[in-house]
Amino acid sequence: RLKALNRLQVILQHLKMSKQTDSTAEVLLEKKGGAGIITLNRPKALNALNLSMIQQIYPQIKTWEQDPETFLIIIKGTGGKAFCAGGDIRAITEAGKVGHKLTQDFFRGEYRLNNAVGTCKKPYVALIDGITMGGGVGVSIHGHFRVATEKTVFAMPETAIGLFPDVGGGYFLPRLSGKIGYYLALTGCRLKGRDVLKAGIATHFVESEKLPALEKDLIALKSPSKEKIADLLNSYHMKCTVDQEKEFVLDEHMEKINSLFSANSMEEIVKKLKQDGSPFAMKQLETINKMSPTSLKLTLRQLREGASMSLQEVLRMEYRLSQACMKGHDFYEGVRAVLIDKDQSPKWKPAALEEVSDEFVDNCFKPLGNDDLKL
């Protein structure tokens, strides 16, 4: 009997006409008042983005952008733990091993979505409550407003899995104050709570439990301008006293970060860290020594070049890099060590920075002709 009941439930689930409100859908797209609301709905996977989610969100943003009755777009995650912990790395790894075109389709789709967020004509509000990493940063950072909470954990941890801080990292990271972006990109350092605001990643800070009220107030705004939305976010932000007195976690290290991470090459950064010898420098050295040497070199160049590029140019460059990583060794080895076997001891090839030649790095940045990303 139970089986029959379960089967009936499954059939009923399939019969639900509206994908929008189907609670099993991986992404919920709904219109409330003047707001288009995107809800990432894979709580068990920490709302990691897969290709089908990307393919649903992209056209919806484009539709809302053209709709005179939609005044703003809100994006959030379900489950209380994560806004979005990244892209669906496992699926990409499996695809890459068998030469499946998901390794092209995923990055192409994801970067087009990042660009849609970055060029969105309607005010775009990301409620980055909980873990916000990698792909989750890509669907939030390029929008007008990013609201962090005491539960927010930000990181771009890609160098640890043989990748690089993509999704437009080459655009926003070098634009953070001083060399913070270089430091975050190379070490994968995590920022929490109010520090995400202080680093310039979030635009506002609100208690997690106030988000439903904030969302309600945003939805209730009558044909709001960007200024009106900003005013509402500011009023919530001003009332929030959580960790107000706390100093920015990187404050005491900023001078060191700015000098140590301003070097022109990875080898030079490592040399500066060794010469500095302070506990902070030694800790960064230890972290960097665990990362993929190839990833470190690609990342440093990505940020240095991205600093003077448009978002579109950066995404095109990053697409080239993504395809180079898919053809390489370190990405598969990094995912194995960190996410699959979890032994945390990847065997990088090449194993040392000195062995990653300039020629190899140059090749990763070369145009792909007809296969280049079109935005």
Containing H/E element for 29?
strand 27-32
Containing H/E element for 75?
strand 72-77
CB atoms within 10 A of CB 285: 18
φ, ψ dihedrals at 290, nearest 5° = -90, -15
List beta partners, residue 13.
Answer: none
Catalytic residue (choose from 34, 86, 87, 162): 87
Residues 74, 80, 85, 87: is their CA dihedral positive or negative?
Answer: negative
Catalytic residue (choose from 110, 166, 195, 318): 166
Residue positions counted in the chain: 375
Containing H/E element for 60?
helix 51-66
Cα 177 to Cα 251, 254, 255, 260, 364: the distances in Å are 12, 10, 12, 15, 28
Q: How far apart are CA 153 and CA 173, in angstroms?
A: 16
**166 among known catalytic residues:** yes
**87 among known catalytic residues:** yes
Catalytic residue (choose from 118, 135, 169, 193): 135
Containing H/E element for 94?
helix 89-97
Which residues neighbour 176 within 8 Å (Cβ) at sequence distance 6 or greater? 184, 199, 200, 201
Tokens 């990271």 -> residue: 173
Closest of 105, 112, 115 to residue 141, by C-alpha: 115
137, 138, 139, 140 alpha-carbon torsion, rounded to 10° = 50
Which residues neighbour 48 within 8 Å (Cβ) at sequence distance 6 or greater? 42, 84, 85, 86, 87, 88, 89, 135
Residues serving a catalytic function are 87, 135, 158, 166
